[in-house]
A and B are shown apart, each in its own frame.
Chain A
Amino acid sequence: NAGVTQTPKFRILKIGQSMTLQCAQDMNHNYMYWYRQDPGMGLKLIYYSVGAGITDKGEVPNGYNVSRSTTEDFPLRLELAAPSQTSVYFCASQEIRDRGSEAFFGQGTRLTVV
Chain B
Amino acid sequence: DAKTTQPPSMDCAEGRAANLPCNHSTISGNEYVYWYRQIHSQGPQYIIHGLKNNETNEMASLIITEDRKSSTLILPHATLRDTAVYYCIVRVGGNQGGKLIFGQGTELSVKP
Q: Which residues of chain A have a CB within 8 Å of any CB of chain B?
A: 4, 33, 35, 37, 41-45, 48, 50, 58-59, 88, 90, 92, 94, 96, 98, 100, 102-108
Interface centre among B32, B42, B51, B99 (most CB of A within 10 A): B99
Asked if B43 and A90 sit within 8 Å, CB to CB, the answer is yes
Among the 9-residue stretches B9-17, B74-82, B101-109, the one with 4 or more Cβ atoms under 8 Å from chain A is: B101-109
Number of A-B contacts (CB under 8 A): 61
State the majority secondary structure of interface residues on B: loop
Size of interface on B: residues with Cβ below 8 Å to A: 24
B49 near A100: Cβ-Cβ < 8 Å = yes
Q: A33-B99, A103-B36 are in contact. List 15 more A-B contacts (CB 8 A).
A: A33-B100, A35-B102, A41-B104, A42-B104, A42-B105, A43-B102, A88-B41, A90-B44, A100-B34, A102-B34, A102-B46, A102-B49, A103-B46, A104-B46, A108-B43
CB proximity of A38 to chain B, nearest CB, Å? 11
B residues with CB within 8 A of A: 32, 34, 36, 41-46, 49-51, 85, 87, 95-97, 99-105
